Structure 1
């Protein structure tokens, strides 16, 4: 339950854990709010533990110093809490959404998702956001009284809609889903438990989404520089904000070694983004005149955001990273190998479900075998996918 301090410091537009509801009713906890319970259930889930061995851009075997899905998630949670506390939101809800936002990701980062989506195209496709919803509502099998984690509706809505509404005011899919429609699993869940797909999520979920963006920019610069995919001079020339930060560090510490300079760049970049987001978000919240959590989701626009100038810097960073990191020949070569592993595994398991463990083979036999195969592969870590490929095929693609 919320303490008196929490109740008096929380803004009127923050989400209220005392109003949160679960699909399967449970007695309240005497020591934790409902959002704290959601956060703890996510942390203790099997899917969360597997994030430790799922990669972002680099594959697992490229080194222990690069980010995994788990380290990225922890960084996102830290930034989300910082934003939420400054904005007087419920930081436990922001943390819960941040910790759960990547649960649905496949092995091998976005490469794995793209490959699995291509394999599943005849069967409804694969979308990590939709798969994450299924993990927390049905696939996790830990509790005696229900499947999934029985999270509150507020947290589930945050996980589904943290990047914005999935439908426009007329009920049409928004840009991300315009070509193929809202994923079937999300649409089916919405029919059972309405998610208000045309409205925004809470400010806490919006904070988690922005935190994800900030963390990506900073840690991909860090990883890319340390991996030698690009140089500090290259990104300085392309991104004025980075140039300004590096110049300030060099002026104060003229003899700083490269590793410390890179760290100073990334930490100061995160700070610049967070401080800007706090100021801009307060301006937007005041401008929208929202005085309740309900008014937030009905506001019709994102309220936790960067200012136009820093948003332009964010675009500069992403443009640079796309060209110099995500499309780097070294990364592309590893992507091709990872793509082959996922496609080969899908074909093998679909042709012979008995090659999967008995419980997964049984699921495939009970209906929708392709979806069962996709669920099984999506849950794999990088190293387990490589191991399974080596077990099933001669001459597997060799990931470094």
Structure 2
């Protein structure tokens, strides 16, 4: 019995009957097993080492003109992974599966966060970052070969948002942990930016969760574990679900759709729109690896794939290279 087989055997002893078991994991393409890593550990590693995950370091979470102390898509994903693992351990579910889904759930996000997603959706009629995340790991990574992730990880990535619940409890953990993470750390970043004060929080939120983002996370995680124990599902108490919705509505009104950030959102949309229009008209300017996929996917999808994969800084750099005269760029650097 090798290391992987021993770990797989232990899962049946240690984990809940409701936990996804690594030995039962399925892939679209069969491949030799690793002697020391389970299927879900292998998925986690593939995502962690992927180009699309590395690019999250330079993709916006909320604040487009952010500094070093503000969250990015990468730090968000890491926080979701840690929150999810804590819940999974408390419920004796599969931590490796939970972590893999959490790390991969946002790899399809466009530059400039949801502003870029909204711009892309307007341009092509339908664009959703969860679907693009699945497309990234399924088709675009490894020069078009994809990562060949397990079905449970792909399902969790696709359904981490939207009305459909993931078929594993581990995926359902990530679906709620994602919301816990972004509400709490976006509130924390908003305090740092000066857009919010702790006293701005609705009384129902502060009375239940406090005003410190760490305490907020702890409160919601504790509620999830207690509410889900022996329930064969991932749940929040009725009161906590209500508080979270109040918190979410507050953040959408005061931050995500805030007039104070409207200029940034408009600028981000403009960059996405101009790049999309340019590459649709000058398809030959795309990297060769993208042009080679035109026959299979069509021109529009290839342009979407290219732009969605850009980091914020590279999208701005491409915009400047294409639309800003060189003499102006030199002048801006001098200033």
Regarding TM over 0.5, the answer is yes
Alignment size in residue pairs: 322
Q: Give the alignment's Cα RMSD to 1 decimal.
A: 2.0
Equivalent positions of 1:197-208 (< 5 A) are 200-208=166-174
Equivalent positions of 1:91-240 (< 5 A) are 91-121=95-125, 125-141=126-142, 147-163=145-161, 166=164, 200-235=166-201, 238-240=202-204
Aligned equivalents of 1:343, 1:114: Cα separation in 2: 11
2:221 is the alignment partner of 1:271: no
Deviation of the 1:164 alpha carbon: 6.3
Aligned equivalents of 2:286, 2:90: Cα separation in 1: 48
Residue matched to 2:73: 69
Aligned equivalents of 2:163, 2:86: Cα separation in 1: 24
Moved more, 101-110 or 151-160: 151-160
Deviation of the 1:165 alpha carbon: 5.8
Deviation of the 1:327 alpha carbon: 2.4
Structure 2, gaps ≥5 residues long: none
Moved more, 14-23 or 361-370: 361-370
Change (3 A) 1:382 1:21: same
Residue matched to 2:318: 388
2:159–2:175 CA contact under 8 A, matched in 1? no
2:45 is the alignment partner of 1:30: no
1:104–1:130 CA contact under 8 A, matched in 2? yes
Structure 1, gaps ≥5 residues long: 167-198, 247-261, 286-302
TM-score normalized with structure 2 length: 0.91
Aligned equivalents of 1:164, 1:225: Cα separation in 2: 28
Residue matched to 2:234: 304
Report SS of the residue matched to 2:27: coil
Deviation of the 1:240 alpha carbon: 2.5
2:130–2:159 CA contact under 8 A, matched in 1? no
Deviation of the 1:162 alpha carbon: 3.4
